[in-house]
Amino acid sequence: MTKILYVEDDPSSQRLVQRILTSEGYEVTIADNGLAGIEAAEREKPDLVLMDINISNLDGYEVTTRIRMVEGLENVPIIAVTAATLRGDRERALVAGCNGYIPKPIDVDKFPEQIKAYLVGQEDSVGTPEEQAQYLLEYNRRLVSRLEENVRELQKANEELKRTEKMKSDFVVLAGHELRTPLTVIYGYLQILLVNPAIPGDITQEGSPRHLLHKVSEAVERLSQVIQDILNVSLIAANRLDLSHEPVFLNSVVQSVLHNLRSFGPQRQLIFELGGGLKKVPVIEGDPRRLHQALWNIFSNAIKYTPDGGTITVDAETLDDVVHLWIQDTGVGIPQEELANIFERFYVLEDTALHRSSKTAFKGGGLGLGLAVSKGIIEAHNGKVWAESPGYDEEALPGSTFHVLLPIGDPFSKVESDRKG
Ligand code: ADP
């Protein structure tokens, strides 16, 4: 069946032309704007295109020029159907690549004949070669000024986007600081209360005042972790993470992270294994507190995604000018196709409906910020982080391994020159 594509935004014209052509046995596709017209032409490869000129985004002249560039449509008849009846409109359509011109309103009786003629090769002509050259020049100039207009608009929109992005990141950073300050006070006083002998009970004694205070303190700690993650991820995204330059003893950082998390070990019956390589790694330069956090996030995931009874192993080696650290767990693993995505902001694999807000309970949830923060911190040290896993399996527990590379020597020379560049 002969296929006709009609690019037109006016519904009544669409209906009229569709009715006439369908009753003549043609298959008609309608596109109601310029870009949709190009897509439909590429997809349908029509035998003839009817083109309205005044349509949105790209106009009919531009769509015609573009359709001529589609493979297989170099010679397809394209007919301008338009109410534009100013002097030169017909010529403009022809130099843009149309083969013919049918003025609107269409003559219902003549229309099928006109289409037939164009289908068998009728070609309208512009006039003398001089006239043609003149119209072509005019068309080119119009295209360039349209392009300029669009580039200006895009530039403006881009600046606006940057401005709102900066406002957003300023807001998050400010809000983060504002939230953190009172939390630090609350946390501090809770610690004072917890060691006050006047507070009755024991933290292990369910329901006792001290136990309740301990629970509050844990919740406050969790809250400040979330705020810290949000704050860091905004700073990283805005390239505003300031790192201190100090000697970093990676072995001590790992020990301190483990000390911090070990309390969950007995509760969760997890085994932590430390390889001998850690003690041998050289001192590197960087921000020990940020690196602590980067590793804390990776370790807490290992705990979170490993069922009770599992093992978490950490070891390191020195390779030329980098330290290679790896953290391996015997947990549920990660689907291969997700390995790169998990480092993106807000990326969580689990079903959010089953979300449990704990960083250390088995399969507890998070905001999907932990690994983005780790990656940001490690990359700010000019290092690399990636994950390996054979796949996700809650029964077979294939486990995951997180690898971290950190340069020995001054890691900032390159990062800072990159930032300045
Ligand atoms: P969250 O705050 O949700 O833990 P992360 O950025 O820390 O976010 O991790 C992103 C996702 O990567 C997690 O939701 C989880 O599905 C997956 N993931 C991270 N570490 C592990 C791991 N050790 N084992 C299995 N899955 C993991």
Q: Is the pLDDT of residue 61 over 70?
A: yes
Question: Of 57-71, 223-237, 387-401, where does mean pLDDT reach its minimum?
Answer: 223-237
Amino acid at site 222: R
Q: Which residue has the higher pLDDT, 169 or 337?
A: 337
Question: Of 10-19, 133-142, 237-246, where does mean pLDDT reach its minimum?
Answer: 237-246
Distance 176 CA to ligand 1 centre (A): 23
Distance 410 CA to ligand 1 centre (A): 30
Distance 342 CA to ligand 1 centre (A): 6
Q: Write down the pLDDT at residue 421.
A: 43
Residue-wise pLDDT tens digits, 86-142: 778 888 899 999 999 998 899 999 999 999 999 999 998 888 899 989 999 999 999
Distance 368 CA to ligand 1 centre (A): 7
Q: Hey, which of 348, 354, 355 would you mutate to test ligand 1's pocket, going by the most ligand atoms within 8 Å of its Cβ?
A: 348
Residue-wise pLDDT tens digits, 266-278: 678 889 999 999 9
Q: Among the atoms of ligand 1, which is closest to the Cα of residue 359?
A: 4
Q: Is the pLDDT of residue 84 over 80?
A: no
Distance 229 CA to ligand 1 centre (A): 14
Structural domains of the chain, with CATH: 3-126 (3.40.50.2300), 155-220 (no CATH), 243-420 (3.30.565.10)
Q: Write down the pLDDT at residue 354.
A: 54
Residue-wise pLDDT tens digits, 144-165: 999 999 999 999 999 999 999 8
* The model's pTM: 0.65
Percent of the chain beyond pLDDT 90?
70
Average confidence (pLDDT) over 250-258: 95
pLDDT class of 413 with cuts at 50, 70, 90: low
pLDDT class of 353 with cuts at 50, 70, 90: low
Nearest CA to ligand 1 atom 12: 342
Residue-wise pLDDT tens digits, 69-81: 999 999 999 999 9
Q: Which residue has the higher pLDDT, 394 or 366?
A: 394
Residues with a CB atom less than 6 Å from ligand 1: 297, 301-302, 305, 329, 331-334, 342, 347-350, 365-372, 400
Percent of the chain beyond pLDDT 70?
91
Q: Among the atoms of ligand 1, which is closest to the Cα of residue 367?
A: 2
Q: Among the atoms of ligand 1, which is closest to the Cα of residue 333?
A: 25
